Amino acid sequence: MPTIRLENVSKHYGPTKAADRLSLEIMDGEYLCILGPTGAGKTTLLRILSGLTLPDSGKVFFDGADRTRAEPEERGASMLSQTYSLFPALTVSENILFGPAIRGMGEKDKDDTLNSMLDLVRLTERSDAYPKELSGGMMQRTALARALASGCDTLLLDEPLRALDARLRISLRYEIRDLAKSLGLTTIHVTHDQDEALVMADRIAIIRHGTILQVGTPNDVFDHPNSPFVANFVGQCNFFRGKVLSSGSITQVQCADGRSIEAGPSELKAGEEAVVAVKLGNTELTKEAKGYFSGTVERTLFEGKYIHVDVNVKDVGTISAKLPSWRLSKLAIGDQVDVRWNAARANVFPMPEGGLEQELKVE
Amino acid sequence: MTKVNRLAEGRKKTLLDLVSGRRFRTGWKSFIILFFIIFVILPTVWILSYVVTDWSSIQTEVFDKPEIMQVITDAIIASFEIAIIVTVIDIIVGLPMAWIMVRKEFKGKQYLDTLIDMPLAVPTAALGFSCAIFWAVTPDKVNAPDFSLAFITSPFMLIILLHVVFSYPYMVRSLSAILEQIDQTYETAGRTLGASKFTAARTITLPLFRAGLVTGIILCLARSLSETGGTMIALSTMANAGTFETGPTIIGKWKALLSTNPDLAAPLAFVSILLIVISLVLLVVLKLMVMKVRLPAGKVWPKWERTLSRNWVPKLKDGSAIIFLFIFVLIPSFFIFSYVLVSPSAITEWGTFWNALIYSFIIAGIVTAIDIVLGVPMALYIARGHSLKFPQFLDVLVNVPLIVPTAALGYSLGVFWKGVPGIGSLDFVLIIMAHVAFTYPLVVRNVAGAVEEIDPSYEETARTLGAKPLQAFRRVLYPMIKASILAGAIMAFTRSLGETGATLAVVSSANTAPVYIVNLIKADQFYLAAMACIVLIIVSYIFMLALRYVTKRRTD
Amino acid sequence: MPEVVLRGVSKKYGKVVAVDDISLTIKDGEYVTILGPSGCGKTTLIRMIAGIIQPTEGQVFIGGKDMKGVEIEDRDLGYVFQNIALFPNLNVADNVAYSPRVKDRPAEEQAATAKKYLELVKLLDRMSMLPGELCGGEQQKVSLARALATGSKLLLLDEPLSALDARVRMDLRYDLRRLVKQLGITTVHVTHDQEEAMSVSDRIVLMRKGSVMEMGSPEQLYTKPQNMFTANFIGETNFFEGWVKERADGLSKIELRDGSEMSVANCPFDKGTAIVVSVRPEFVFPFTSGLHAKITSITYMGTYWRISTEADSEDEVELDVPVADGSLYKIGQEVYLMVNRKAAIVFPRPREGIAEAISLE
């Protein structure tokens, strides 16, 4: 299974930079998620990997060999488009056998491949159905089987779950990942859904404006984001602006109204403008202890495992928190609470050049 | 090295590999584009070069001869007046009909759908005769049925009525196509915001409609400006047509006289140039103008518009649209059948007609084959490259032969190939090339339209599954566009079968079926002409049924 | 006032029953979400309220008036479409001012209305742009402003967030609820996204195959679902198959397939009944004794670790452990699991099988 490397790849559409000197390495057998908002260049990246789009400059290597200009059919990389692109005139079986038929596989081998694929995606009973007779989930699985049957060793998935219902999406996450992993495929999965990326990926590459902002394990990008954008995109955050008082293993930041708050380690200089990001799930509300801020509970929303609480803090605005749902009975609207967090789980960044608003834009 | 690469390495190069190579693909693409330019576009507009190469003869033969100049101006003005009036009528009566077809569900809708297309099946030569005996006062020798309306005495009026018949289906079709593309949610959204049906349609759907309206207008204008055979026949059939001529009929007439009167070359060129230039200018102006004009849609009169949306008003509107269809389109189209029933049969001499019909069939067949082989790749190139500049340019260019009146096109093409030794004298080849020039765009448009609607991800997915470009086309795209290719082919075939203007303009003595009918009428052989028309109608109708059958299957 | 009442409403297309005899009352000022998988009839239902589709049977009342024969434009409601449907030929301000315009209100009033509602969704600076120039989230906000500008007190939202990116969706949910609550508007919101439904609603109506499965507040549906489908659809859950071994008030015993025992607080079924116990992952804990299981995967979820296991009882069990404890577990490791007996819910074992009973499609 190939190791894939992109080196300084650029692709422009008029003034739009869909890929801007982008470099990325995908390991042999790895499940990599490319995560980013709409228009970030995710699909372009996938198309360059598949050979459907030629980059303006830069190189694509498969196992060290330069394959930048290789035809799509010569790369052993199958693409699963957002809409699955099942061939409408062919049945499930015929769709799955598309790749083997092209390669001129013998009848016996074709039968074997078909049976094992149908079995793998649990569609044996629907093998003679046409795509339009299938439910969304079945179409998705047929497309997956078709890609696998083509004998590819790289799987390119373009938002494979987008067209499905929210609840079904959650159920199918593990299924796709397990399939790819059990066959040892190198998989590149494009998505805009941060939960999906966290659950499915070995590593996540966060992309914006055609550049990779950060690559790392789910743990890395969630806990140690390298920019306010990444922090916010991989999970909602509360943001606080201020000036750095001191840094080191704990960074102290002074907010505009004089209150001082704490965040994890940094090498920022004292006096520098900074932003502190605290994940909603790491924001704690307490009635017993003193916190960084005090405010009034504005609203509480029950969300299942968590409750979403908005706290209004004078001069700061609304701070939100996700608390375990058993706390619901102990919080009422109008209650006075203190807001605090574990300093090590808060991140601090220098103030972004274009301003925080611009940095956090998710569209 | 990936698994697939290893597999590929051990294999010898096959033909498939050869045609899949980048170099072969580029070569093939260039060939297709060259064909289009040399065999379609250049001959179509070649006559324009006459202005540069032979201006002096235009000066002496046209500008210095007031009587020729007068004939030309009259004919051209009549042509454009007719075309514009016909188009306006078509819009007014076609819009409600399109609305019925797209936005209403009712029993028998598919029958209405067929009825609207019926005139398309009737070759214009037959329509010309049919309309003339229905509407116009005719001389006794014609023997028109007693129950025909027979009150039109103005050739101008008659030609308008005739052109409405065959352009109406085009207008309704193109308006319905646009209407179908406009998401009905917009209107529903308007209504949830408090607008009545009429208000929502007027303030939201109609403004969105404009861009597409241009297509309908251009098609209508072009069809009316091009029409030759039917017009000639109608004029020959009616009483007191006098010296009335349109642009295309004058080309046909002069071309026939060219061999005895070579001085007519310059006036012919001049008429053709005028027709081509004015058509193209009209096209550009329309495209620009329609998008610029702001409809006065600001003010809303809720009470009045509400009344217009309810009760008897919509019913009246729909009713009139359907009545118009019958009285002005359907009955005149098929009136010819009553003629052969009530008129005394004359001696019939079928031999020549069958020969002409077979000749027409052979031409139409060859033309269609050329159109498909060379048009489908062009359609693919245009449809799949629509984000690039050059294919976009070709996309515009491909419309030119559709807009240029076919008589002018035919004359231009004749002049273009005359200079080429060996080809200029082959009537058969010339007719085929002329017919290819104006039917080729039909196939390209049809197929390109179908391909554009198909998500490229099908072929792309096939490629990533290991298919070479040709395999991806053959196994994935082709099955999806097969019906459209067939539809384009049938359209090209019937158009070629019914064409008079281009044929006459390129070879005046050509012996195709429509030309034969024109000649019969001119020789006062009305009964035989009518019988020939009916045979032609039946043949064309069979083809249209086939067309409907395949397009139906496409939508299923 | 816009109370919406559905009485025995059905919609049939030939033999296909899209909506099957639904009766429902949406109170004035309430935020009700109609939730369900694709094809459950939820969109048909909301369209019948709006008058876009006519019911085959039953009646729709808005503000006490029977809506039979009342045209869409006379129902006095705001509607937000899934595909957003902003008029592409009008700019943002003209889109929002459309409703006052078609009612022929004076020009100043039209302009003032547009300004007021655009300000509400914080998009005043986009006023003169065309819809195509905005990004998805902004478009949907304008579409909301346009619906609110009708001045109606009833708002119908047809999958308003489905077309948007996950991250944008998440932010918009909270804005949406805040806005309509602030304006005191009765809202009916259709969605297939259970997380979205939980965040925005006062009450959720869960539909499946044209009928209402269950309705209640998000908390009721999550903590005390009345049937298995609901338990699984509203948030993830573990199912344990077994039989009632001993029934008592306060503490019943369940026997699982491997013979091991599980205690639950509430069991309404008699001894020997085949049942299924539903326990959400946050209520399963590793312990020194209990159900024996083997870890098959460990996933980082940001604020907790999700551990999947295969238990000796053949049930697949997932549990959530705090971030700090993540390093204590490895794939292949053997653990003992306990469940919070108060959080366990007991259902009768469905005849058609568990998979069919909770099937999402």
Residues of A in contact with C37 (CB under 8 A): 165, 167-168
Residues of B in contact with C85 (CB under 8 A): 183, 185-186, 188-189
Distance CA C344, CA C321 (A): 18
Superfamily of chain region B54-180+206-342: MetI-like (1.10.3720.10)
- Give the tokens for residue C157: 């939202």
The answer to whether A156 touches A147, Cβ cutoff 8 Å, is no
Confidence of residue A257 (pLDDT cuts 50, 70, 90): confident
Distance CA A178, CA A180 (A): 6
Pairwise CB contact (< 8 Å): C299 & A199: yes
Domain A4-228: top CATH class: alpha beta
Residues of C in contact with A180 (CB under 8 A): none
Q: Is B420 on the interface with A (CB under 8 A)?
A: no
| Apex B12 CA angle, B10 and B17, nearest 5 | 115
Q: Closest Cα partner for A77 from A177, A160, A184, A2?
A: A2
Q: Is B511 on the interface with A (CB under 8 A)?
A: no
Q: Is C88 on the interface with B (CB under 8 A)?
A: yes
C256 φ, ψ (degrees, to nearest 5): -90, 180
Q: In the predicted model, is pLDDT for residue A136 greater than 80?
A: yes
CA atoms within 13 A on the CB side of A353: 0
- Give the tokens for residue A248: 């080191």
pLDDT in tens, B58-96: 888 888 899 999 999 999 999 999 999 999 999 999 999
Query: Which among A305, A308, A320 has CB closest to C282?
Result: A305
Whether domain C4-228 has CATH 3.40.50.300: the reply is yes
The answer to whether A235 touches A244, Cβ cutoff 8 Å, is no
| Apex A251 CA angle, A246 and A255, nearest 5 | 80
* C-alpha separations of B154 from A186, B131, B241 in Å: 79, 13, 7
Q: Where are the domains of chain B?
A: 23-47+345-556, 54-180+206-342
Size of interface A-B (CB pairs under 8 A): 96
Q: In the predicted model, is pLDDT for residue A327 greater than 70?
A: yes
- Give the tokens for residue B547: 């067309």
Pairwise CB contact (< 8 Å): A152 & B463: no
Mean pLDDT of chain A: 93
* Predicted local distance difference test score (pLDDT) of residue A159: 93
Q: SS3 for A223?
A: helix
Residues of C in contact with A303 (CB under 8 A): 195, 198-199, 218
Helices and strands, number each (H, E), in chain B: 30, 0
Q: Closest Cα partner for C209 from C194, C229, C223, C195?
A: C229
Query: Which among B3, B8, B463 has CB closest to A153?
Result: B3
Confidence of residue A1 (pLDDT cuts 50, 70, 90): low
Spell out the per-residue pLDDT of chain B, length 556, in tens: 344 444 444 455 677 777 777 888 889 999 999 999 999 999 999 999 888 888 888 888 888 899 999 999 999 999 999 999 999 999 999 999 999 988 888 888 888 888 888 887 788 888 999 999 999 998 888 878 888 888 888 999 999 999 999 899 888 988 888 888 888 899 999 999 989 988 888 888 888 887 678 878 888 898 899 899 899 999 999 988 888 999 999 999 999 898 899 889 899 999 999 999 999 898 888 877 776 666 556 677 888 888 888 778 888 888 999 999 999 999 998 898 888 888 777 666 778 888 998 999 999 999 999 999 999 999 999 998 877 888 888 988 888 898 899 999 999 999 998 878 777 678 899 999 999 999 999 899 889 988 988 999 999 999 999 999 889 999 999 989 988 898 888 889 888 988 998 999 998 888 899 999 999 888 888 888 888 888 888 888 887 787 777 766 655 4
Pairwise CB contact (< 8 Å): B462 & A78: no
- Give the tokens for residue B481: 């566009």
Pick among C82, C96, C98, C109 to test the B interface (most B CBs inside 10 A): C98
Q: Is C354 on the interface with A (CB under 8 A)?
A: no
Q: How far, in whole angstroms, is CA A310 from its chain's centroid?
A: 26
**Strand order through the sheet with C31-35:** C78-80, C154-158, C186-191, C31-35, C203-208, C211-216
Q: SS3 for B7?
A: helix
Write out the E strands in A141-287. Answer: 154-158, 186-191, 203-208, 211-216, 237-246, 251-255, 260-263, 273-279, 283-286
pLDDT in tens, A193-237: 999 999 999 999 999 999 999 999 999 999 999 999 999 999 899
Distance CA A164, CA A141 (A): 12
Q: How far is C56 from chain B, CA to nearest CA, in Å? A: 17
Chain B residues with CB within 8 Å of chain C CB: 183, 185-186, 188-196, 199-200, 203-204, 207-208, 298-302
Distance CA B77, CA B83 (A): 10
* Predicted local distance difference test score (pLDDT) of residue B25: 87
Chain A residues with CB within 8 Å of chain B CB: 2, 50-52, 62-63, 65, 71-83, 85, 87-89, 98-99, 102-103, 146-147, 150-154, 156
* Residue found by looking up tokens 């015929």 in the block: A94
Range with the lowest mean pLDDT among A1-5, A281-285, A288-292, B77-81? A1-5
C302: left (phi over 0), alpha (psi -120 to 50) or beta: left
* Predicted local distance difference test score (pLDDT) of residue C53: 93
A88 φ, ψ (degrees, to nearest 5): -65, -25
* Predicted local distance difference test score (pLDDT) of residue B408: 93
Write out the E strands in A14-135. Answer: 16-26, 31-35, 57-62, 65-66, 77-80
Residues of CATH 2.40.50.100 domain(s) within chain A? 236-351
Q: How far is C340 from chain A, CA to nearest CA, in Å? A: 13
DSSP, residue by residue, A160-194: TTTTS-HHHHHHHHHHHHHHHHHTT-EEEEEES-H
Q: Which residue of A has its CA nearest to B1?
A: A63
Q: How far, in whole angstroms, is CA A291 from its chain's centroid?
A: 32
Pairwise CB contact (< 8 Å): A52 & B460: yes
Residues of B in contact with A71 (CB under 8 A): 20, 463, 468
Residues of CATH 3.40.50.300 domain(s) within chain A? 4-228
Reported ipTM: the value is 0.89
* Predicted local distance difference test score (pLDDT) of residue C1: 62
Whether domain B23-47+345-556 has CATH 1.10.1370.40: the reply is no
Q: Closest Cα partner for C277 from C290, C291, C266, C289?
A: C266
Residue A343 is inside which H or E element, if any? none
Q: Which residue of B has its CA nearest to C150?
A: B193
Q: How far, in whole angstroms, is CA B487 from its chain's centroid?
A: 14
Distance CA C249, CA C139 (A): 55
DSSP state of B37: I
Weakly modelled stretches of chain C, pLDDT under 70? 1
Cβ burial, residue B449 (10 Å; 0-12/13-18/19+): middle
Tell me whether strands C203-208 and C31-35 are parallel, antiparallel or unpaired.
parallel
The contacts found for B113-119 with CB under 8 angstroms, 24 or more apart, are: B114/B548, B115/B325, B115/B330, B116/B168, B116/B169, B116/B172, B116/B173, B116/B325, B117/B169, B117/B173, B117/B544, B117/B548, B118/B169, B118/B330, B118/B333, B118/B334, B119/B165, B119/B166, B119/B168, B119/B169, B119/B329, B119/B330, B119/B333
Q: How far, in whole angstroms, is CA C199 from its chain's centroid?
A: 9
What's chain C's Rg over C-alpha atoms? 24
Crossing angle of helices A136-149 and A166-182, in 10° steps, is 20
Q: Which residue of C has its CA nearest to B183?
A: C85
Residues of A in contact with C194 (CB under 8 A): 166-167
The contacts found for B282-289 with CB under 8 angstroms, 24 or more apart, are: B282/B221, B283/B218, B283/B399, B283/B403, B286/B214, B286/B217, B286/B218, B287/B214
Q: What is the dihedral of CA B417, B423, B427, B429, to 10 degrees?
A: -100
What is the pTM for the complete model shown?
A: 0.87
Pick among C189, C194, C300 to test the A interface (most A CBs inside 10 A): C300
Q: Which residue of A has its CA nearest to C171?
A: A236
Q: Closest Cα partner for A296 from A281, A277, A283, A309?
A: A309
Q: How far is B63 from chain A, CA to nearest CA, in Å? A: 51
Q: How far, in whole angstroms, is CA C30 from its chain's centroid?
A: 15
- Give the tokens for residue A101: 């038929």
B104 φ, ψ (degrees, to nearest 5): -115, 145
**How many residues appear in chain B?**
556
**Strand order through the sheet with A16-26:** A16-26, A4-13, A57-62, A65-66
Q: Which residue of B has its CA nearest to C50?
A: B192
Q: Which residue of C has its CA nearest to B210?
A: C89
Query: Do the domains spanning B23-47+345-556 and B54-180+206-342 agree at the CATH topology level?
Result: yes
DSSP, residue by residue, C322-347: EGGGGGG--TT-EEEEEE-TTT-EEE
Q: How far is A362 from chain B, CA to nearest CA, in Å? A: 27
Q: How far is C165 from chain B, CA to nearest CA, in Å? A: 21
**Strand order through the sheet with C16-26:** C16-26, C4-13, C57-62, C65-66
| Apex C27 CA angle, C26 and C29, nearest 5 | 115
Q: How far is B22 from chain C, CA to nearest CA, in Å? A: 37
The answer to whether B244 touches B376, Cβ cutoff 8 Å, is no
Residues of B in contact with C95 (CB under 8 A): none
Pairwise CB contact (< 8 Å): B302 & C52: no
Q: SS3 for A90?
A: coil
CATH of domain C237-349: 2.40.50.100
Domain A236-351: top CATH class: mainly beta
- pLDDT over 70 percentage in chain A: 100
What's chain A's Rg over C-alpha atoms? 24
Query: Which among C37, C165, C234 has CB closest to A362?
Result: C165
Beta-bridge mates of residue A336:
A296
pLDDT in tens, B205-255: 888 887 678 878 888 898 899 899 899 999 999 988 888 999 999 999 999
Mean pLDDT of chain C: 93
Tell me whether strands C238-246 and C211-216 are parallel, antiparallel or unpaired.
unpaired
pLDDT in tens, A292-303: 999 999 999 999
Q: Is C55 on the interface with A (CB under 8 A)?
A: no
Pairwise CB contact (< 8 Å): A165 & C360: yes
